[in-house]
Amino acid sequence: MEFLELDGSYGEGGGQIVRTALFLSTLLKIPVRIYNIRAKREKPGLKRQHLNIVKLLKRLAKAKVKGDELGSTELEYIPKRLKPGYYEVNFDTAGSITLFFQTILPLSLFIPGETVIKVIGGTDVPKSPTIDWLRFVFLPYVMNIPEFIRIEVLKRGFYPKGGGAVQLSVRSSLEEEVNEVSKIRELFGERINLKRTERGDIKKIHVFSVAHEELRERKVAERQAKGAVEALKELGYPEPEVYRQYAQASSIGTSITVWLEDTMGNILGADNLGKKGKLAEVVGAEAVKKLHEDYSTGATVDTHLADHLVPLMAIFGGSIKVPRFTGHLLTNIWVCEQFFGKIFEVNEKEKIISVK
């Protein structure tokens, strides 16, 4: 068996290499061996979040795997055919559901027939986008590829206990799996638009503020939203549409997601998490500050979105204007080019990344 060899310590050397490699390997049916996994980190090797992805792929793609153990610095992965059906994965921790979906969601777009994936873990946890960012910022870019796709938040999961539940439902028009990029482009190319270097006027701004039910009396969701609305006003943005929600969860927590849409169809977002001792108004204002930092660069995507779109650009082509070149982003491009060869053009001056 011939493997594509990937050095997991390349660039920023994080879990991004594993997540992107598993997506592309499974889609294109290219076996991979990843070594030096997270070698630069304080605790090297595979984390539970990566093992949760592999755990599902063993069933979803009938994958053969070696090295799928906590802390393992080498992983051999041989994917087979994707099988539609119902799947459930329980992290048993507050592991990030959104980072799990960074591999699984784009893969689900190409599974023949109907597939439902229920995941139990963290919906709004540190060091990852919120589930609302995934639903309202990333999902619109890919929702036209399958016949139907929906992400339902069944229960919120905050740090440290997690226990949140999210269900992804996808229905594809494919009767059989397609593994050639040219064929994928032919079938779905008109359904996705990743040519996004032009910006339009702001059409809408949204604020989605969530807090645990026990924080209702203190009006934490309202106060987070208020902090965001006031910060937007100070920066000269239009008045947003505001959504407030209280939720039952195993741990007390809060989150806020802010995103804007422009007349060219671009969506940029940012999020923030509350924590004990931090004013809810500050949590909201900080989310707006993050969004403004990205938007004020002239970018057409936010920092998280650039990471999510790069593997899809490798398949469909396209061009995006990024806020900045992060270690995550450059490493992601490198991983894609191990599969496809030198396909990305990077204009550092204009901050434009493109694939023909």
CATH code of the domain containing 133: 3.65.10.20
339, part of any domain:
no
Residue after which a domain boundary falls, among 295, 330, 347: 295
Residues 98 and 187 in one domain: yes
Instruction: Give the pLDDT mean for 89-103.
Output: 96
- Sort 239 into a burial class: Cβ within 10 Å, 0-12 / 13-18 / 19+: exposed
Residues 6+ apart with CB under 8 A from 120: 88, 89, 90, 91, 157, 162, 163, 164, 165
Query: What is the structure's pLDDT at 267?
Result: 98
Residues 148 and 129 in one domain: yes
Residues 87 and 67 in one domain: no
Q: Which two tokens stand for residue 204?
A: 């809408």
SS3 state of residue 158: strand
In this predicted structure, the answer to whether residue 113 has a pLDDT above a threshold of 90 is yes
Instruction: Give the pLDDT mean for 243-267.
Output: 98
Residues 96 and 35 in one domain: no
In this predicted structure, the answer to whether residue 106 has a pLDDT above a threshold of 90 is yes
What rounded mean pLDDT belongs to the chain? 97
Residue after which a domain boundary falls, among 80, 114, 148: 80
Q: Compute the distance between CA of residue 350 and CA of residue 320 in angstroms, rounded to an integer.
A: 10
Query: What is the structure's pLDDT at 242?
Result: 98
Residue 283 near residue 256, CB atoms below 8 Å: yes
Query: What is the structure's pLDDT at 288?
Result: 98
Instruction: Give the pLDDT mean for 180-202.
Output: 96
Q: Which two tokens stand for residue 350?
A: 């204009």
Rounded alpha-carbon distances, angstroms, from residue 351 to 239, 305, 319, 332, 339: 29, 14, 10, 16, 23
Q: Which helix (H) or strand (E) holds 106?
A: helix 97-108
Q: Which two tokens stand for residue 272?
A: 């923030």
285, part of any domain:
yes
340, part of any domain:
no
In this predicted structure, the answer to whether residue 212 has a pLDDT above a threshold of 90 is yes
Query: What is the structure's pLDDT at 160?
Result: 97
Residues 74 and 99 in one domain: no
322, 328, 329, 330: CA torsion to nearest 10: 130
Band (1; pLDDT cuts 50, 70, 90) = confident
Q: Which two tokens stand for residue 142?
A: 């890919």
Residue 157 near residue 125, CB atoms below 8 Å: yes
Could you give the percent of the chain with pLDDT greater than 90? 98
Residues 143 and 228 in one domain: no
Residues 182 and 212 in one domain: no
Band (299; pLDDT cuts 50, 70, 90) = very high
Query: What is the structure's pLDDT at 226?
Result: 98
279, part of any domain:
yes
Beta-carbon-side half-sphere exposure of residue 97 (alpha carbons within 13 Å): 35
126, part of any domain:
yes
Which residue segment(s) compose the domain that 159 sits in? 82-192
In this predicted structure, the answer to whether residue 37 has a pLDDT above a threshold of 90 is yes
Q: What is the pLDDT of residues 115-125, one digit of tens each?
A: 999 999 999 99
User: In total, how many domains does the chain have?
Assistant: 3
Q: Is residue 328 flagged as an active site residue?
A: yes
Residues 162 and 220 in one domain: no
Query: From the candidates 50, 206, 212, 328, which is the catalytic residue?
Result: 328
93, part of any domain:
yes
- What is the DSSP code string of 216-276? TTTTHHHHHHHHHHHHHHHTTPPPPEEEEEEE--SS--EEEEEEEEETTS-EEEEEEE--T
pTM (two decimals): 0.97
Residues 76 and 106 in one domain: no
Residues 76 and 96 in one domain: no
Residues 94 and 176 in one domain: yes
Band (57; pLDDT cuts 50, 70, 90) = very high
Q: What is the pLDDT of residues 9-18, one digit of tens each?
A: 999 888 999 9
354, part of any domain:
no
Instruction: Give the pLDDT mean for 151-172.
Output: 98
Query: What is the structure's pLDDT at 142?
Result: 97
109, part of any domain:
yes
Query: What is the structure's pLDDT at 40?
Result: 87
Provide the 10 A C-beta neighbour count for residue 204.
Answer: 13
β-sheet bridge partners, residue 34: 6, 75
Residues belonging to the chain: 356
Residues 182 and 207 in one domain: no
Residue after which a domain boundary falls, among 192, 215, 250: 192
Whichever domain contains 265, its CATH number is 3.30.360.20
Query: What is the structure's pLDDT at 47?
Result: 94
